[in-house]
């Protein structure tokens, strides 16, 4: 139990709650304070829980929280003992809830978001016999399917992207390599600036590179002309142009 309490306190002191609690201080929280802490965690998962429990009827509080816990998949009996413990802010009920929520925070936040759109709306069979109700229900199911497909696609896209921290490390590595290359270039310039033969070689190399680029451009142009009308039987406009030289 002590290990559970420490885990709860550690997670409440971390992002996104930052409650600055001590182990003893948390264990001594009164029922109302415990319910306020539970409210903070539930509100992080779904903003609809940001309510003043002092102005909410105990039955409504239990209904709201228990339904949400059931949707999230919290395993308990939800019997009268659990109901009384939750409504009274009993730590033997609240502590296990907090422990489970805080240990699955991000996954539960995603589940809470999806539940708004993916939970099946049960409509009595006799209502579906009415054409208008049946049509609205069909539209609802179609939109639900579209949402699931779109969400799945977005998740795949997110997983395919590189992590921002990985991108930052790669950028830093490229910056370091660029700096090293710049230093090597400066050293090479310093060694060769007095060498007359090097300047001549650099000029010839530059001319050769330009000639290679021009040759590649003409080859590409010739390839394009082969697929133009009139290029068959030696009637290519490029061939006609080049034959004059």
DSSP the chain: -HHHHHHHHHHHHSTTT-----HHHHHT--HHHHHHHHHHHHHHH-GGG---TTSS-HHHHHHHHHHHHHHHT--S---HHHHHHHHHT-HHHHHHHHHHHHHTHHHHHHHHHHHHHHS-----HHHHTSHHHHHHHHHHHHHHHHHHHHHHHHHHHHHHSPPHHHHHHHHHHHHHHHHHHHHHHHHHHHHHTT-HHHHHHHHHHHHHHHHHHHHHHHHHHHHHHHTSTT-GGGT-HHHHHHTT-
pLDDT of residue 179: 78
**CB neighbours (10 Å) of residue 49?**
19
| 61: Cβ contacts below 8 Å, ≥ 6 apart | 53, 86, 87
Q: Provide the token pair at 85.
A: 């413990």
Residue 234 has pLDDT above 60, yes or no: no
What's the mean pLDDT when you consider all of the chain? 81
Query: Is 61 in contact with 83 (CB distance < 8 Å)?
Result: no
Arithmetic mean of pLDDT, 48-52: 94
pLDDT tens for residues 104-135?
A: 999 999 889 888 777 777 778 887 788 888 88
Inter-residue contact 5 to 26 (CB < 8 Å): yes
Question: For 184-207, what is each residue's pLDDT tens digit?
Answer: 767 766 666 666 555 666 666 677
With 60 as the cut, is the pLDDT of residue 7 above it?
yes
Q: What is the number of other CB atoms lying within 10 angstroms of the CB of residue 135?
A: 11
């Amino acid at each position: 139990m002590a290990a559970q309490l420490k885990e709860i306190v550690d997670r409440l002191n971390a992002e996104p709650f930052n409650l600055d609690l001590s182990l003893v201080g948390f264990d001594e929280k009164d029922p109302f304070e415990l319910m306020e802490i539970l409210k903070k965690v539930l509100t992080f998962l779904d903003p609809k829980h940001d309510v003043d429990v002092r102005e909410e009827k105990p039955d409504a509080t239990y209904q709201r929280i228990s339904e949400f816990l059931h949707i999230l998949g919290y395993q308990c009996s939800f019997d009268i003992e659990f109901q009384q413990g939750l409504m009274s802010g009993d730590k033997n009920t609240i502590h296990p809830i907090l422990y489970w929520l805080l240990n699955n925070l991000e996954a539960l936040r995603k589940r809470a978001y999806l539940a708004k759109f993916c939970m099946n709306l049960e409509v009595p069979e006799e209502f579906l016999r009415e054409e208008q109700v049946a049509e609205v229900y069909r539209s609802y199911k179609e939109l639900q399917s579209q949402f699931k497909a779109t969400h799945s696609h977005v998740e795949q896209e997110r997983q395919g992207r590189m992590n921002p921290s990985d991108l930052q490390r790669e950028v830093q590595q490229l910056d370091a390599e660029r700096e090293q290359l710049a230093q090597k270039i400066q050293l090479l310039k310093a060694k060769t600036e007095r060498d007359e033969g090097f300047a001549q070689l650099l000029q010839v190399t530059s001319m050769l590179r330009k000639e290679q680029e021009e040759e590649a451009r003409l080859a590409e142009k010739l390839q394009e002309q082969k697929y133009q009308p009139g290029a068959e039987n030696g009637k290519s406009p490029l061939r006609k142009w080049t034959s004059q030289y």
